[in-house]
């Protein structure tokens, strides 16, 4: 579903992506881990279209999206969450998701008035909220949600774009143990329908979710394999996991 082929990116003399290649198959979760400054954010920006690679390709479901804009990549099936939660705080939970449904469908914004002609937006949004466990919060302002609920809302917004693939940027950031466990359960359920690339510092989450794992250090993948293979890789342990991993 996702193939990254020999991505390179430099800022002047600083090379922040060096010949990065990886693939994610249907039904898989592929995790990318690495220390701060490893180039994870740059990689995410190149996949999502925020930043253009100097060379290499990004393919989604077999289609080269390397030169498409962020919006064009969303339209062809890329869904993304962010390291810092990004929602419309004064909108209700339902309106946040319905806005994303509307953007994908291209219909009017009349869902605010709850008119019959836009009922399909609200029905679709309600279905997505039920899937992520936020249906009982539909009419609450997003600003009233807990941090964990905001993470779920952001995933719901990504799902509202009818993605083929999910790009998840540190979804566990700031979550407590109980919230993290609930989100891990949700992502494990979702990945059957939405293969995903996960960038995450929470190693418990990574080892529970990932089918494959890549370790990124100084813009270069230094280890790749199953979680067990990476855990047993001396280079990966030295670079990131540590002796106690």
Listed residue (202, 204, 194) closest to 171, CA to CA: 202
Report the distance separating Cα 210 and Cα 124, nearest Å. 29
Specify burial of residue 206 (Cβ count, 10 A radius: 0-12, 13-18, 19+).
buried
Is residue 20 domain-shared with residue 37, that is, in the same domain?
A: yes
The number of domains in the chain is 2
Determine, yes or no, domain membership for 83.
no
Is residue 168 domain-shared with residue 69, that is, in the same domain?
A: yes
| Beta-ladder partners of 7 | 20
CATH number at residue 70: 3.40.50.300
- Whether 112 contacts 95, CB under 8 Å: yes
pLDDT of residue 85: 66
Is residue 67 domain-shared with residue 169, that is, in the same domain?
A: yes
Is residue 155 domain-shared with residue 169, that is, in the same domain?
A: no
Is residue 30 domain-shared with residue 9, that is, in the same domain?
A: yes
Determine, yes or no, domain membership for 209.
yes
> Which residues of the chain carry a pLDDT beneath 50?
108, 111-117, 243-245
pLDDT of residue 117: 44
Determine, yes or no, domain membership for 20.
yes
Is residue 72 domain-shared with residue 170, that is, in the same domain?
A: yes
Domain containing residue 43: 1-77+163-245
Determine, yes or no, domain membership for 231.
yes
Is residue 70 domain-shared with residue 100, that is, in the same domain?
A: no
Listed residue (92, 101, 154) closest to 125, CA to CA: 101
Is residue 120 domain-shared with residue 198, that is, in the same domain?
A: no
Domain end marker among 107, 125, 160: 160
Is residue 71 domain-shared with residue 176, that is, in the same domain?
A: yes
- Whether 50 contacts 43, CB under 8 Å: no
| Beta-ladder partners of 196 | 29, 166
- Whether 90 contacts 79, CB under 8 Å: no
Is residue 6 domain-shared with residue 41, that is, in the same domain?
A: yes
User: Tens digit of pLDDT for each residue in 159-197?
Assistant: 998 999 999 999 999 999 999 999 999 999 999 999 999
Is residue 147 domain-shared with residue 181, that is, in the same domain?
A: no
Report the first-to-last Cα separation within the chain, whole angstroms: 30
Is residue 73 domain-shared with residue 8, that is, in the same domain?
A: yes
């Amino acid at each position: 579903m996702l193939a990254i082929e020999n991505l390179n990116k430099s800022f002047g003399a600083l090379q922040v992506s060096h010949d990065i290649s990886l693939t994610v198959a249907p039904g898989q979760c592929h995790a990318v881990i690495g220390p701060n400054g490893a180039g994870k954010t740059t990689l995410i920006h190149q996949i999502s279209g925020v930043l253009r690679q100097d060379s290499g390709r990004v393919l989604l479901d077999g289609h080269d999206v390397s030169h498409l804009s962020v919006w064009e990549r969303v339209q062809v099936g890329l869904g993304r969450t962010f390291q810092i939660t990004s929602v419309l705080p004064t909108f209700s939970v339902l309106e946040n998701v319905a806005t994303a449904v509307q953007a994908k469908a291209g219909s009017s914004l009349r869902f605010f008035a709850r008119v019959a002609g836009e009922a399909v937006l609200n029905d679709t949004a309600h279905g997505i909220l039920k899937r992520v466990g936020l249906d009982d919060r539909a009419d609450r302002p997003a600003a009233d949600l807990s941090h964990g609920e905001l993470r779920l809302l952001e995933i719901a917004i990504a799902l509202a774009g009818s993605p083929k693939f999910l790009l998840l940027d540190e979804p566990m950031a700031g979550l407590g143990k109980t919230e993290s466990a609930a989100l891990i359960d949700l992502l494990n359920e979702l990945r059957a329908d939405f293969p995903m690339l996960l960038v995450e510092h929470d190693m418990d989450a990574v080892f529970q979710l990932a089918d494959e794992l890549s370790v990124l250090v100084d813009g270069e993948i230094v280890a790749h394999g199953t979680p067990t293979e990476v855990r047993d890789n001396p280079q990966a342990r030295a670079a990131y996991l540590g002796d106690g991993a």
